[in-house]
Amino acid sequence: MTETGLNALASATHAIHRARQHLAKSLTRHFFAVALLALGSGAAADDTPYQLQNTYPHEPALFTQGLELYQGKLYESSGLYGHSKIIARKFPPSATDSITGTALPANIFAEGISQYRGKLYMLTWRAGRGLIIDPQHFKLLGVFPYQGQGWGLCASIVEGRADHFVMSNGSDQLQRLAADSMKLLSTVTVKENGKAIDNLNELECLGDYVIANQWHTNNLLIIDGRSGEVLKKLDLSALAAAANKTSPLAPEAVLNGVAYDADDDSWLVTGKLWPSIFRIKFALPALPVQSSPSRP
């Protein structure tokens, strides 16, 4: 692998070598390698009922860091150095599906992913560089810098204002990044009745709502992305318990992964190393009326 920096990284897209190998169950995965040395280096809200709609198999080897539905496929990023990958498969899955995706270089720790205007954006934890990837062929399209650690990512789109990404970093802060430049716009502290809520991890945006799961808890938080206020909290302990019934889970096999399905207004949730993906429905609380409008 030859390369020296981010410019080389961006230009390395077409120099990637690809290999294919057949996986068990006749699944196919596309690999590419890129030169990436530059990356080396509440108590307050009530628990809210939800309805379990369905349960699907999930590959229990995946250390899920990002979950996103896009054009009938479920995209998932899986972390850990030396094991990171992005995969995609038709959803709901069937036994004959093929899995496509890409294995990532060993110095990349894949974190959250988000689809935005036909491209996948993926964070790389402590490396401070995100990757922009073509969701069809998994080619590297670009690189963007970010500040601090990168955990979860989602794209917030509201008619009448500029799009932005929301990024978590494991703290109680959410960063807003301009979607057109990936530049930091602002940060907001997530609070539940005045108390900061930390360890925010995987995210899903729906307009101004930010749905976040909190690392090492079974909580799914419904957040007003404009103010950071936790509007509701779902306790998904029953789903975590159900996952544990079929697979002994390691201590790090925690709830992580939420994706919105606009087709039926439901949500897919899973966890690291979980054998199941759950489809749930829940009512979104109304967003408070803001005294100062968010539009410019």
Task: Compute the least distance from the CB of residue 24 to Ca ion, in Å.
Answer: 27
* Helix-strand-coil split of the chain, %, nearest 5: 10, 45, 45
Judged by CB under 5 A, the stretch of 30-38, 119-127, 156-164, 251-259 that binds Ca ion is 251-259
User: From edge to edge, which strands make up the β-sheet containing 276-281?
Assistant: 51-57, 276-281, 266-271, 255-261
Please say which residue, 12 or 259, places its beta carbon nearer to Ca ion: 259
Task: Compute the least distance from the CB of residue 115 to Ca ion, in Å.
Answer: 9
Q: ∠ CA(169), CA(172), CA(178), 5° rounding?
A: 55
CA distance 71 to 90: 9
Task: Compute the least distance from the CB of residue 112 to Ca ion, in Å.
Answer: 7
SS3 163: coil
Task: Compute the least distance from the CB of residue 65 to Ca ion, in Å.
Answer: 10
Task: Compute the least distance from the CB of residue 153 to Ca ion, in Å.
Answer: 8
The identity of residue 4, as a single letter, is T
Instruction: Tell whether residue 268 is a contact of Ca ion (CB under 5 A).
Output: no
Please say which residue, 34 or 122, places its beta carbon nearer to Ca ion: 122
Instruction: Tell whether residue 111 is a contact of Ca ion (CB under 5 A).
Output: no
Please say which residue, 172 or 204, places its beta carbon nearer to Ca ion: 204
Judged by CB under 5 A, the stretch of 52-60, 66-74, 100-108, 163-171 that binds Ca ion is 66-74
Please say which residue, 154 or 188, places its beta carbon nearer to Ca ion: 154
Please say which residue, 32 or 152, places its beta carbon nearer to Ca ion: 152
Q: Which residue is nearest to Ca ion (CB)?
A: 204
Judged by CB under 5 A, the stretch of 62-70, 186-194, 214-222, 239-247 that binds Ca ion is 62-70
CA distance 171 to 288: 24
Beta bridge partner(s), residue 276: 57
Instruction: Tell whether residue 204 is a contact of Ca ion (CB under 5 A).
Output: yes
Please say which residue, 67 or 223, places its beta carbon nearer to Ca ion: 67
User: From edge to edge, which strands make up the β-sheet containing 209-214?
Assistant: 200-206, 209-214, 219-224, 230-235
DSSP secondary structure of 173-231: EEEEEETTT--EEEEEE-EETTEE---EEEEEEETTEEEEEETTS-EEEEEETTT-BEE
Please say which residue, 35 or 211, places its beta carbon nearer to Ca ion: 211
Task: Compute the least distance from the CB of residue 294 to Ca ion, in Å.
Answer: 22
Please say which residue, 66 or 228, places its beta carbon nearer to Ca ion: 66
Which residues have CB under 8 Å from 289's CB, separation 6+? Answer: none
Task: Compute the least distance from the CB of residue 77 to Ca ion, in Å.
Answer: 9
Judged by CB under 5 A, the stretch of 29-37, 91-99, 156-164, 254-262 that binds Ca ion is 254-262
Contact positions with Ca ion (CB under 5 A) in 9-48 = none
Report the length, in residues, of the chain.
296
CA-derived radius of gyration, the chain: 18
DSSP secondary structure of 106-130: TT-----EEEETTEEEE--BTT-EE
Instruction: Tell whether residue 67 is a contact of Ca ion (CB under 5 A).
Output: yes
Query: Binders of Ca ion: how many residues, by CB under 5 A?
Result: 3
* Cβ–Cβ under 8 Å, residues 77 and 122: yes
Residues that bind Ca ion (CB under 5 A): 67, 204, 259
